Amino acid sequence: MAFAVTRSFGAIPGLAAAALTLGLGLSLGLGLCLITPGASARAEAAQFRPTPKVINTLSSTYGFVIAQDITLSRIADEYPGLAPDAELASAYFKNAFPNITHRLAENLATLMGKDHAREVLEGIRRQIKKELDSQLTSDKLTSDFAARFIEAIHLRAQGEYLPSPFKEFLLATKYQIEPVYELYDGYFQEFHTKGHAKSLGINLALHLPASWSAADGRLPHIVQKWQSQAGTGTDMIILEIYDLHGDTVSDAQLKVMAATDQLAQWAPINSQMLDSGLTRVDHRQVYWFDIAMTQRHQGTPFTSQTREYGLFLDDKLIRLHCTSYHPTADGTTYAKAKTDLAVDDGFSEIKPLCEGVMGSLVVMEGHSN
């Protein structure tokens, strides 16, 4: 199931009110304080970055789910006839996002320290309950509202009617360890190069995880780039198209290049070649290689590992590379890690995702020759 097309809450009467009910409770609850990393936070032990934006969004996503649970419970209490439906909707959502409140809380505990996180989350629960108590009064919690709210939860379990950034952070948390399954489970965004100013006449389509944020590239050959965790993470996927100005590379030539270690010519200077080979995508031969690099960005040293795919199409080179960045941990910078996560471990997560994204690539009919 792809969720490229979304519908408005207003399309179903009552859902707009349901969304407003939860949204108001969250905005009031989290507006009380800016949640910041605690002194005991271990940046090197987190997969999410310990920034105020990330921590606040994880916290508000936690509150979003709690508010939803409280509302369903109130519906079951107020309308016993709807209690089985409310319980079923809750079960569907929990099946779609297993142990999600626990996993959100675990991430926050890692980022903030257990004691600080526990205090913050308890405060969120209290504040949301207080706000919903004042909002879900008998005159507002009508049977029609209740039935439509239950319908909304069923749709949320399918990935619909989940407002941003809650949707992205729910997905990023669910697929934190194995991000490739976000694609395989149908939570993807579809990207087309047709009509893009940098496409050079190439018409192709591919799928990216729904939780990743898309952005245009500054350089002329970068068609599009995507960043993990709704644009807050340290993993990047970049699509590039190069004009070879009449030069072409045949399958036979590519095989020779792979056999004679010539694929390194497409790798950045000062990178370390880890592995390479050939595969087929959309019935076409492509090269791939894995590289590691150490660089500095704005004075901060970091390491990275990249899986790159290259497809020669006429006199164009299409490159897709997926990189996991690891700034050196110095108490303030972020190292993408679980507990003492090595670069190789982080790369093992994004490499299958890169294979999945490249495997979704389809060259469409009508691309320029």
Whole-model pTM above 0.75?
Answer: yes
Task: Give how many domains the chain has, as a whole number.
Answer: 2
Sheet holding 300-313, edge to edge: 213-215, 222-227, 235-243, 316-327, 300-313, 284-297, 272-281
Helix (H, G, I), strand (E, B) or coil at 224: strand
Say if residue 252 is in the same domain as residue 330.
Answer: yes
Closest to 293 in 3D by CA, of 321, 338, 325: 325
Residue 3 lies in a domain: no
* Domain stops at, among 155, 174, 193: 174
My answer on whether 61 and 75 are in the same domain is: yes
**149 in the same domain as 22:** yes
Least Cα distance to 22 among 195, 156, 190, 201 occurs for 156
The tokens of 82 are what? Answer: 């709807």
pLDDT of 342 above 50 = no
Assign 236 to helix, strand or coil: strand
Residue 132 resides in a domain: yes
Are residues 258 and 315 located together in one domain of the fold? yes
Question: pLDDT by residue (tens digit) across 113-169?
Answer: 999 999 999 999 999 999 999 888 888 899 999 999 999 999 999 999 899 999 999
* pLDDT, tens digit (0-9, with 9 covering 90-100), for 210-248: 999 999 999 999 999 999 999 999 899 999 999 999 999
Residues 154 and 184 in one domain: no
Residue 302: pLDDT band (50, 70, 90) is confident
Determine how many CB atoms are found less than 10 A away from the CB of residue 350: 24
pLDDT digits (tens, 9 = 90+) for 13-51: 233 333 434 443 333 334 334 444 443 333 333 379 889
Assign residue 297 the CATH number of its domain: 3.40.1000.10
Q: Are residues 199 and 72 in the same domain?
A: no
Which of 174, 208, 238 is a domain's end point? 174
The closest alpha carbon to 229, from 189, 173, 181, 190, belongs to 173
Give every CB contact of residue 243 below 8 A, 6+ residues apart in sequence.
200, 315, 316
User: For position 325, what pLDDT does the model report?
Assistant: 85
Task: Give the pLDDT band (50/70/90) at residue 256.
Answer: very high
In Å, how far from its chain's centre is CA 209?
Answer: 6
Greater model confidence, 138 or 111 = 111
Show the domain range for 88: 9-174
State how far the Cα of 143 lies from the Cα of 110, in Å rounded to an integer: 41
Same domain, 21 and 94: yes
pLDDT at 264: 87
Q: Which H or E element spans position 289?
A: strand 284-297
